[in-house]
Amino acid sequence: MGEGRRILGTGVQLVGVRHAESIDGTGELEPRPGGAEQSNSSIVFGDRYILKLLRRVEDGDNLDREVGLALTRAGFPATAEVVAALEMRWGGRRIATLGVLQRFCPNQGDAWEFTLEALDRYFERALSTRAEAERLPLPEGSVVQAAAAPIPEEVHRVISESYLDAAQLLGRRTAELHHRLAEMDTPDFRPEPFTSLYQRSLYQSMRNLVGQTLELFRARAPSADTDAAGAQLLERKDELLELFRSVLERKFDGERIRIHGDYHLGQVLWTGRDFVIIDFEGEPARPLSERKLRRSPLRDVAGMLRSFHYAVVTALLRARERAPASAAEREALDRWGRFWHRWVSTAFVRGYFEAIGDARFLPRAPEERQQLLDVFLLEKAVYELRYELANRPDWVRIPLEGILELLGERRP
């Protein structure tokens, strides 16, 4: 549909809107289905454009279009350029976005598959090596502390150096995204202060999340492999709330900005040399008004760190399916997994903070950055537990283990 063309219905118009100065419609634009998506459908036109058709249509501007268009106009290179959109209007007023047309970014798949392939190779080497897993050095201190120091050469030898470099690059691209979003001086994007009132609101939302999640957990009988961990989680509810309550203990520096909002490895494309960040719609379970709120960019950092944990557990399960292991071998593989997760997380955070510098939207003090990151990591894991309980019960063990590990790693 060309710019301004309309399809009329009973009181409704479908309108094509152009955002790019020019759209190349010449040559072969053979349409084909895009890759599998959970929440939308996509059509690729001649490896030149991709049309995302939204299955969930909401009143107001679609966030993928709004944020993607703002980044396009700001010249941010690490995302797909938004060139046009399909709108539904009532009485000549735009009321919803039905589709978003973007320039197609040639890629080798998303960062989730790229990471799983790297992990498959990593665990194959781990199974064949004679090195003792107990001797693998883990980062010292918190992830923020570890990220301030160079990654040891031994770690580069054990983990593929190319993946550590890629994780650090992804951290830099994430920081560049946050910088660009924070620089937009428009009413819908202008940063807001990280106030004491917001901190109280933040704690209350986390407290409600814990209550809702644990109530749902009690209502659904855990499986045999999660009942012990589930019992431990219920016993540690007060400890969980105590960590969330820590957001009230001090006044944090920094600002709240528009962020990605649902940041994980599946929301990033791997081109073979670089990363392209996509899908700015936010967490689908949250209402649109909530997804548009300014938040700490450390939420996106926490989302990616949790995604690394999901990838490790998924790859561990695949490794065990390919080569059934003894109890001792499984314990060794778990150690190899923790080693990969901790050091890759460190590389990502190192790249992020190197590129973020002294940005005013983050606390300056490392201990404040770590405290907020701890809170957001735990909040994300609790949110994941609620999601998995409702949608993928077989995956409950992943966020459950993540919550207990985060509680176990608490530092004064």
Q: Residue 412 above 70 pLDDT?
A: no
40-45 and 275-277 beta bridge pairing: unpaired
pLDDT band, very low/low/confident/very high, at 90 (cuts 50, 70, 90): confident
Q: Residue 95 above 90 pLDDT?
A: no
Query: Do residues 298 and 373 touch, judged by C-beta distance below 8 A?
Result: yes
> How many CB atoms lie under 10 A from the CB of residue 93?
8
Query: Which class would CATH give 111-408?
Result: alpha beta
Q: How far is CA 252 from the centre of its chain?
A: 23
The CA-to-CA distance between both ends of the chain, in Å, stands at: 59
Mean pLDDT of the chain: 89
Going 321 to 327 to 329 to 330, the CA torsion angle's sign is positive
pLDDT in tens, 156-204: 989 987 999 999 999 999 999 999 999 999 999 999 999 999 999 999 9
Query: CA-CA distances (angstroms) from residue 340 to 166, 313, 337?
Result: 14, 11, 5
Predicted model pTM: 0.92
Rg (CA), the chain: 22
- Quote the CA–CA distance of 358 and 361 in Å, as a whole number: 9
- Quote the CA–CA distance of 270 and 166 in Å, as a whole number: 10
- Quote the CA–CA distance of 42 and 160 in Å, as a whole number: 33
Q: What is the DSSP string of 243-261?
A: HHHGGGSSPPP-EEB---S
Q: Residue 384 above 60 pLDDT?
A: yes
* Nearest partner of 231 among 219, 243, 244, 222, judged by Cα: 222
Q: What is the DSSP string of 278-293?
A: ---S--TTS-HHHHTS
Q: Is 11 exposed, middle or buried (0-12, 13-18, 19+ CB in 10 A)?
A: exposed
pLDDT in tens, 301-341: 999 999 999 999 999 988 888 776 677 778 888 999 999 99
Per-residue confidence (pLDDT) for residue 231, from 0 to 100:
87
| Residues 387-402 as b or e (16 or more Cβ within 10 Å = b) | bbbeeeeebbbbbbeb
Residues 6+ apart with CB under 8 A from 195: none
Query: CA-CA distances (angstroms) from residue 69 to 66, 74, 170, 184, 278?
Result: 5, 8, 21, 12, 12
Query: Do residues 119 and 311 touch, judged by C-beta distance below 8 A?
Result: yes
* Nearest partner of 297 among 246, 355, 242, 248, judged by Cα: 355
Query: Do residues 277 and 267 touch, judged by C-beta distance below 8 A?
Result: yes
* Nearest partner of 126 among 270, 322, 308, judged by Cα: 322
pLDDT band, very low/low/confident/very high, at 132 (cuts 50, 70, 90): confident
pLDDT band, very low/low/confident/very high, at 1 (cuts 50, 70, 90): very low
Could you give the percent of the chain with pLDDT greater than 70? 91
pLDDT in tens, 107-131: 999 999 999 999 999 998 888 876 6
Residues 6+ apart with CB under 8 A from 101: 23, 49, 50, 51, 52, 82, 83, 84, 85, 86
- Quote the CA–CA distance of 300 and 309 in Å, as a whole number: 15
Enter the tokens of residue 107.
């890629």
Residues 6+ apart with CB under 8 A from 349: 143, 144, 146, 147, 171, 301, 305
Number of helices (H), then strands (E), belonging to the chain: the values are: 13, 11
Residue position matching structure tokens 């969930």: 56
Q: Residue 242 above 90 pLDDT?
A: yes
- Amino acid at residue number 333: L
Enter the tokens of residue 296.
């700490």
Per-residue confidence (pLDDT) for residue 66, from 0 to 100:
94
